[in-house]
Amino acid sequence: MQGSANLNLMIKAARKAGRGLVKDFREIENLQVSVKGAGDFVSRADIAAERTIRDELTGARAGYGWLGEETGAAEGQDPTRRWIVDPLDGTTNFLHGLPHWAVSIALEHKGEIVSAVVFDPAKDEMFVAEKGQGAWMNESRIRVSGRRTLDEALLATGVPFGAKRTLPATLRDLARLMPATAGVRRFGAAALDLAYVAAGRIDGYWERELNAWDMAAGLLLVREAGGLAEPLRGAGGSSDILASGSVIAANGDLFAPMSTMLRAPA
């Protein structure tokens, strides 16, 4: 894929951050860890990765705005563009030595995601997309799966942890969907769940209580791979999903039956 200058900048930043994260991942026992909240950890590696990405992106595009998991929001001189960054999605996996985590970078223009990178350094898998240009993994074009019925579908979700209040709703979701599908997985990294929907590795994904940086890049991957994505509680565009904190994503055949089950009254 011949990407834009911005996409190439994002890829470069993700790879640079990924190199540092892999080094720390190999020395997991020595990581200094602090607690942000119940079950929600942040590591020295996480903060260093965001600093690396921010230096790379703002060094080249000083006027763009910023939204990062660790450093929050900052307005830029260009009010129409901002970076949305999760330097380490899947922090708990990372800290437990599980090689399933990613760097997620999105570029938003006038409220719409136009470029996306989700990089899995442990597996050296780079998922990228630009609006209208399709979705890619390394050098290969990716598409959502072609499965048409829920009984053959493999889904993914996130299970609430710590003080999150959506456990009853999630258990209700699981009770509805698990008997109707080929299985449900809980991988622990929302950006990779969305990338895997885009790549056809899983057929659908839903989750509550997400942040914009968890979803932004993955949403464009899904849509550019031919999939559908909406907030859990109604139709809407990318910005509506980011504001809602929830998502349903799937291929075109499975989206309707999946969303009907998830949106049914309690």
- In order along its 266 residues, the chain shows pLDDT tens digits of 677 999 999 999 999 999 999 988 887 766 556 555 434 445 788 899 999 999 999 999 999 999 998 888 889 889 999 999 999 999 889 888 899 999 999 999 999 999 999 999 999 999 999 999 999 999 999 999 999 999 999 999 998 877 778 888 999 999 999 999 999 999 999 999 999 999 999 999 999 999 999 999 999 999 999 999 999 987 666 668 999 999 999 999 999 999 999 999 87
Give the whole-angstrom CA distance, residue 187 versus residue 182. 16
Give the whole-angstrom CA distance, residue 67 versus residue 73. 4
Report the pLDDT value the prediction gives residue 39, as an integer from 0 to 100: 40
Reading the block at residue 142, the tokens are: 């990716």
Q: Are 207 and 158 in contact (CB under 8 A)?
A: yes
CATH numeric code, 150-263: 3.40.190.80
Report the pLDDT value the prediction gives residue 30, as an integer from 0 to 100: 61
Q: What is the residue whose two structure tokens read 């008997």? A: 179
Report the pLDDT value the prediction gives residue 166, as an integer from 0 to 100: 85
Location of each CATH 3.30.540.10 domain in the chain: 5-142
Reading the block at residue 228, the tokens are: 């559908």
CATH numeric code, 5-142: 3.30.540.10
Location of each CATH 3.40.190.80 domain in the chain: 150-263
Question: Nearest CA to 27 among 86, 95, 92?
Answer: 95
Coil/strand/helix, residue 55 = helix
Report the pLDDT value the prediction gives residue 70, as an integer from 0 to 100: 86
